[in-house]
Amino acid sequence: MLSVVIPAYNEAGAISQAAQSIGQVLRNADIPYELIFVDDGSADSSWEEIMQTAEQDPTVRGISFSRNFGKEAAIFAGMEVSKGECCAVMDCDLQHPPEKLPEMYALWQQGWEVVNGVKTDRGQESGLHSFAAKTFYSIMSKAIRLDMSRASDFKLMDRRVVKTLLDLSEHKTFFRALVAWAGFRTAEVEFSVAERTVGDTHWSTASLFRYAISNIAAYSSAPMQIVTVLGVLTLLLSLVLGVQTLVNWACGGAADGFTTVIILMLLIGSILMISLGIIGYYIAQIFIEVKARPRYLVARACGQERNGQV
């Protein structure tokens, strides 16, 4: 059976359509399946829509968080309750095309343990959003030494891969990078990002920036090296200014000490504050991890577990 995990945050208008579209594709392909909607603490009627859909469609199950814990937590919650021999993850807004699921399932049957959906394009985005995304994935690719320029959360994984991911105890997770880090036999299926048919995206450039900073800190120590680089640059600047001052003194010139001292104080003070901020952010991430709180809290559930039959 194929379990399809579908995170939903304020997606009330898309849930019924997603269930119908995905279900129709899988029934036509004669693939036994279950659909697991995860309500990530939505403020709209998403949970009511999930319950109603589950009442009408026995292939649908749903769980609801006690509050908003984020998409990564929703993905892991869905994987944890899934029962299929393989598990797919896709967006509720159908920007991940359901028509690709049979192709991904066929590759899994051939022995591939991870089937990645990779983007042939990014759809309609603003120039700033596109630049920010490319920069982020460039940094992440260097951090985990794998190309993530076309990465997405649209994946199909073998049960062994799912179990491996669930066994990892870290609190801060970045699903698509974590799957790449885990390895296993991997195939790719290309897809074009479809336009949303219902509602608007909930990801602003600012929220994506915060998301990027959090994940870069989780997978790379590169920002910590900025402290070292700034220290070296300050040392070199200090040496240049020191030599200049000594030359002026040796030539009998008066050293303009006040201006130089003020500039150096401002420069060094700024670098120290930046360095402390970077170190403080990593300490904050350590603080979150050592508390070992659960990734999410489930408040409600609906639907029935299935035994591999449509």
| Contact partners, residue 242, CB within 8 Å, separation at least 6 | none
Residue 175, pLDDT score: 79
| Angstrom distance (rounded) from CA 137 to CA 142 | 9
Q: List 4's β-bridge partners, or say none.
A: 35, 88
Residue 4, pLDDT score: 92
Q: Whose structure tokens read 């393989």? A: 86
Q: Which amino acid is at 274?
A: I
What's phi and psi for 84, nearest 5 deg? -75, 160
C-alpha separations of 266 from 188, 213, 261, 269, 272 in Å? 51, 26, 9, 5, 10
Note the Cα 58 to chain centre separation in Å.
30
Tokens of 271: 């670098």
At 130, is the secondary structure helix, strand, or coil? helix
Q: How far apart are the first and last CA of the chain?
A: 9
Residue 309, pLDDT score: 41
Residue 308, pLDDT score: 41
Work out whether strand 86-89 and strand 155-158 pair parallel, antiparallel, or are unpaired: antiparallel
| Angstrom distance (rounded) from CA 304 to CA 61 | 6
Residue 156, pLDDT score: 92
Q: Tens of pLDDT along 18-27?
A: 888 898 898 8
Residue 87, pLDDT score: 93
- Buried/exposed 164-198: b ≥16 CB within 10 Å, e otherwise: bbeeeeebebbbbbbbbeeeeebbebebebeeeee
Residue 36, pLDDT score: 92
Note the Cα 191 to chain centre separation in Å.
19
| Angstrom distance (rounded) from CA 171 to CA 236 | 40
For the chain, residues with pLDDT lower than 70 are 121-151, 194-225, 238, 241-242, 244-246, 248-250, 252-264, 266, 288, 291-292, 305-310
Residue 84, pLDDT score: 86
| Angstrom distance (rounded) from CA 59 to CA 19 | 9
